[in-house]
Structure 1
């Protein structure tokens, strides 16, 4: 087989699955009207697959902050944080995130993906162990591979399986990094953080919690699962992204361990990537303030999540195990999922289609991401269309 033959196999598999003329992955958004509406194929559609949990992408404060930063500092830094890319805003945002979590230090990265890639590969190395939940995000898997550490998966949210694997390590559990997520992006369920922390303490391991989908969503001030559970002092490292509840792009890691700052000098994804643009940093700083004060936004977000989850459950759809702003409809086959996805798009509703191997356990998913700025009428309409399409997947 030549180098490029495998790509031909990918093209053939996509052609066999997808109807002619349908581009499921990377469908062009022609215009964006608001946090909840856009234009696709010259039609106005409802966004229900954007992870825009607090609806801040069109916040006037965030937009103005970005404009001011462009006017004052230009469009980009053109350099890494280690070279010319550490502006005053980058350092200010790091301090603000550290204060937000009541932690000693924070490192800001150009993307959320890089936050995991850089943190994991910087913390773990040859001779160490990373113990990861089987449903972990690709950035976690890739960070583990880059680290050179031994990778051990445990069954999703299965604490008995995690403990069995920690026990087998013996003394090596002391050099083990356990990685879990606040809200898992596929099925929308939480990590059992109290049990994980208990095992971490029993086996003298270290815990990294990825709050990508739980930042701004869980907790009184939006810190995430650490705040909801009251376990922020028990989690060693917290990573997350700016690209969901904060409406921008970028990532972070916070910790009370003084060693966090040393990642700046050994983590290749941090050292060799241009730093976030001034506009991105400025809008994120504005968004973080809104997130902290966003009690009403979180209340509305959860109201919408409960409304849609309850409606789909009543209709007989198989859903993720608990209510969250990530609401995944679980289908047995890619064909069923594609039919439901296309039916929703035909009715003006944009959601995410997730097929194996990205979806867990060989299933296929049609995933909705609810936002605080979805109206009750929009949620009602989504429920009506799911009801109309129920027969499509029988």
Structure 2
């Protein structure tokens, strides 16, 4: 049984109903390091990602439901009708599905939305990225990956046994040098980065891929639904759908469900089903899950007003936060990073915000680099003027309390002035 340091609250590890088998020392040492080095030393005995319980007046800025689909009655009814009407269905890997199935019809609709030749549904955005990279790269393949790219893209490189070649965030010159040194391979980027809301230079990346003979993979998790005509994403907005080899997305963002998607060619779709381990060894979606996404495609395609409101809110909030002296210049979109630096510093910010009813999401290693911890605020289309005013008032009031002058992002901004 794991023995915790005395200063770690027992509430962090609830008492089990049955004692687990004792772990060997080499695992126990890793568990102890977590509780000693992070929970006790850096976090002061609490949990960095949790903090206070939200009150009834809490302002939640920690959800990826950018267009506020959760709770939409049309989507809920579509899912409920399917769930209640479906007396029996087969629970199995999608690889065994054949013919005109609900999943294949949804894949066609999503591909049409993204102006792609074909597409396929995965169990999650994570599975989509890991499966895709594992099926296109292999041992020794150079994979050029933006240093801010999502962890699932990095995990895909590991699954493929490929060679990761990082390049500095959004730095085309550095990418060019890496390819010149290593030769062509696979380029992995996010269209809209999930930690700071920055946008990839997609036209320049497409040019690099074409000139070097490399394959370009773009994760559109945070731009599908929120950007582009009918929510088709940034690749379509920029007219690059014929120049990007693969697009992936988590449907747990603007689509507010549980699945992932890969936009690809028809021939590759068949290959993927037999080669990607997440596709082979995971069950497909159930009919009521597919019904949610089917209804969401229609809803999102017609949601120009919500997209426009989201972009308007984003500009207002970003301008207001910047005027208060916070350095958020790394990003431009609905994801806003308040980068403090160390984990103890971000805990101070978290506590100051939560004490005033503002709940963002704490990001720390491994979601960020060391000493670049942050609170991520994610905006959504149903924020009202009072919410924005409240957020800006709080951020103005706490600047001294959180020691804004000493944040890593503040110091970095001073160096560039």
Same fold by TM-score, threshold 0.5 exceeded? yes
- Contact kept in structure 2, 1:116 and 1:143, CA below 8 Å: yes
- How far the C-alpha of 1:189 sits from its partner, in A, is 0.3
Aligned to 1:6: 30
- How far the C-alpha of 1:24 sits from its partner, in A, is 3.6
Match of 1:316 among 315, 321, 325: 325
Max Rg structure:
2
- Contact kept in structure 2, 1:182 and 1:191, CA below 8 Å: yes
- Contact kept in structure 2, 1:75 and 1:279, CA below 8 Å: no
Q: Structure 1 CA distance, aligned partners of 2:125 and 2:170?
A: 23
- Contact kept in structure 1, 2:39 and 2:47, CA below 8 Å: no
- Contact kept in structure 2, 1:135 and 1:360, CA below 8 Å: no
Write the deviation string for residues 243-293 of structure 1: whole angstroms up to 9, x where unpaired: 000111100001236223210001111111122232221111111211111
Q: Structure 2 CA distance, aligned partners of 1:46 and 1:146?
A: 39
> 1:382 aligned to 2:378?
no
Change (3 A) 1:299 1:42: closer
Aligned to 2:196: 187
Write the deviation string for residues 52-99 of structure 1: whole angstroms up to 9, x where unpaired: 111111111111111112112369853221247998221111010111
Q: Structure 1 CA distance, aligned partners of 2:223 and 2:66?
A: 9
Change (3 A) 1:145 1:86: farther
Q: Structure 2 CA distance, aligned partners of 1:309 and 1:93?
A: 36
SS of corresponding position for 1:390: coil
Q: Structure 2 CA distance, aligned partners of 1:260 and 1:107?
A: 7
- Contact kept in structure 2, 1:75 and 1:278, CA below 8 Å: no
Structure 2 length-normalised TM: 0.86
Match of 1:294 among 272, 286, 303: 303
- Contact kept in structure 2, 1:221 and 1:295, CA below 8 Å: yes
Q: Structure 2 CA distance, aligned partners of 1:360 and 1:276?
A: 34
SS of corresponding position for 1:391: coil
Aligned to 2:135: 122
Structure 1 length-normalised TM: 0.91
Aligned to 2:277: 268
Structure 1 unaligned regions, length at least 5: 29-39
> 1:284 aligned to 2:265?
no
Aligned to 1:392: 401
Q: Structure 2 CA distance, aligned partners of 1:86 and 1:162?
A: 43
- How far the C-alpha of 1:41 sits from its partner, in A, is 5.1
Aligned to 1:354: 363
Aligned to 1:328: 337
- Contact kept in structure 1, 2:142 and 2:182, CA below 8 Å: no
Match of 2:40 among 15, 18, 28: 15
Q: Structure 1 CA distance, aligned partners of 2:55 and 2:223?
A: 34
Q: What is the RMSD of the two structures over their aligned residues, measured on CA atoms? A: 2.1
- Contact kept in structure 2, 1:77 and 1:275, CA below 8 Å: no
- How far the C-alpha of 1:308 sits from its partner, in A, is 1.2
Match of 1:142 among 151, 155, 163: 155
Write the deviation string for residues 151-198 of structure 1: whole angstroms up to 9, x where unpaired: 11111111111001111134xx1xx11111110011110110111111
Change (3 A) 1:156 1:86: farther
Aligned residues: 378
Match of 1:246 among 238, 242, 255: 255
- How far the C-alpha of 1:320 sits from its partner, in A, is 4.1
